[in-house]
Amino acid sequence: MKKLSVLQTIACILAYFVGTQFGFELWQVAVFAWLPIFLGGCIWLWWFRNVFFFRDPERRIPHGDNLILSPADGRLMYLYPVKAGEVTSDKKGKKIRISELTKTEMKDAQGWLLGIYMTPFDVHYNRAPIDGEIRTLHYHRTGTNLPMVDLWEYVNFTLLRKAVDMFAAPFHLENERMTMQIQNGKMVCFLILIADRFVNKIIRFFQEGQQVRKGDKISFIERGSQTDLFIPCERISFRVRPGEQVYAGKTIIAALEQ
């Protein structure tokens, strides 16, 4: 025989009490018993969508001219070398040109590419990984954004908190995105902000030509989304590995070798 949960037991006791004392019909008692739970669920969903999702916690920004910080909160999915302008997945064996991700011309680029997936439970403000000037901003629009994850991948990311390598998936090449180039005297980084299926737009807080400080909030992207970071430099020592949780403006992902 199936056991009742605590809430079901309380609801049954309450239904029996109300029904015997006031002579209500069974369906009326059921509505009365479950209405507070339903209303509580609606309030929680409203709070999650309109308050929790837009939270903006304070971050202590690490100092160091040679440090590169995470541009997003989320799970680090992959970290691949870029050689002669191409990226190859170790697991899937797929090879694509880095320009297919940035939607800008990048011939013979060398460096590293990493990808961070942001679930609805992560903070969705993006932060500058380095000090520098926003040299270029490129917005790539598309007709329809493809879904990023299927049900099992979503469960892995949100509930099990496991990383799934989504490199070169259809959405990775097709969806709407904004590519932002930040450059200083020592290094340059390219942020690739990729929208999920139901994302309306990517909101940016800086314009081309403006200066940003490491850890500054530079954009906001809704719902589950992805942020890729291309670092066109090979002299880098990484502090994180795929599968780890990272935090924008807080986690040191790499350091430029002196």
Average pLDDT over residues 85-101: 83
Q: Does residue 164 lie in a domain region? A: yes
Outline where 191-236 has alpha helix (H): none
Residues 23 and 86 in one domain: no
199-242 pLDDT tens trace: 767 889 999 999 999 999 999 987 668 999 999 988 899 999 99
Q: Does residue 72 lie in a domain region? A: yes
For the chain, the farthest-separated pair of C-alpha atoms sits apart, in whole angstroms, at 81
Residues 104 and 179 in one domain: yes
Residue 103 belongs to what domain range? 59-256
46-71 pLDDT tens trace: 666 666 677 888 999 998 999 999 99
Q: Does residue 1 lie in a domain region? A: no
pLDDT score for 26: 61
Note whether 202 and 218 are within 8 A (CB): no
Q: Half-sphere exposure of residue 54, counting CA atoms within 13 Å on the CB side?
A: 6
Residues 77 and 191 in one domain: yes
Residues 140 and 192 in one domain: yes
User: Which CATH number do you get for residue 122?
Assistant: 2.70.70.10
Residues 35 and 127 in one domain: no
> Which of 90, 79, 71, 193 lies closest to 132, judged by CA?
71
Residues 44 and 114 in one domain: no
Residues 102 and 195 in one domain: yes
Residues 85 and 199 in one domain: yes
| Segments of the chain assigned E as strands | 67-69, 74-83, 86-88, 95-97, 111-118, 125-127, 132-140, 177-183, 188-194, 202-204, 211-212, 217-221, 225-231, 236-238, 245-246, 252-256
Q: Name residue 111's beta-bridge partners.
A: 82
The reported pTM is 0.79
Residues 215 and 244 in one domain: yes
Tally of structural domains, the chain: 2
Q: Which residue has the tokens 């999920």?
A: 196
Per-residue DSSP letter, 52:
G
Average pLDDT over residues 125-130: 96
Residues 154 and 229 in one domain: yes
